[in-house]
Amino acid sequence: MDNRDRDRLELLDRIEERVPELKLDEHSVEWMTLPDGHEALLVDGGGVDGGDGAYFANAGDDVHAVGSTAPFAGYLGCIVIRPDKTRILARVVPDPLAQQKSDQSVLG
């Protein structure tokens, strides 16, 4: 088993343990190698294209969930899921579609 496979298995185990409400078999999933060499699990497109998906990656002992964090909060950003299952916001990005709707309602 190579490092890539180990990273993937560790991430899957961590997601299952720390995010039990996420049923991966109910979503489309695929793997992507990040620039740092770690593996990321793209869920429902990974949110890379601004869609509703998110991606998960190991970050030391933590798991980072990045993208549309709808299962956890109603915005785009990054949530750190620690070994004790606590979740903290690392970064929040305003939802551009919500902002666009807000701008349109003001204009018209």
Q: How far, CA to CA in Å, does 48 sit from each of 14, 33, 41, 89? A: 22, 13, 12, 19
What's the CA gap between 24 and 102, in Å, rounded? 33
**Domain residues for 15?**
3-107
Read off the pTM.
Answer: 0.75
Per-residue confidence in pLDDT tens, the chain, 108 aa:
788 999 999 999 999 999 888 889 998 999 999 888 889 999 988 776 666 788 899 999 999 988 876 555 566 788 899 999 998 888 776 655 555 544 444 444
Give pairs for 21-24: CB < 8 Å, separation 24+. 21/71, 22/71
Number of domains in the chain: 1
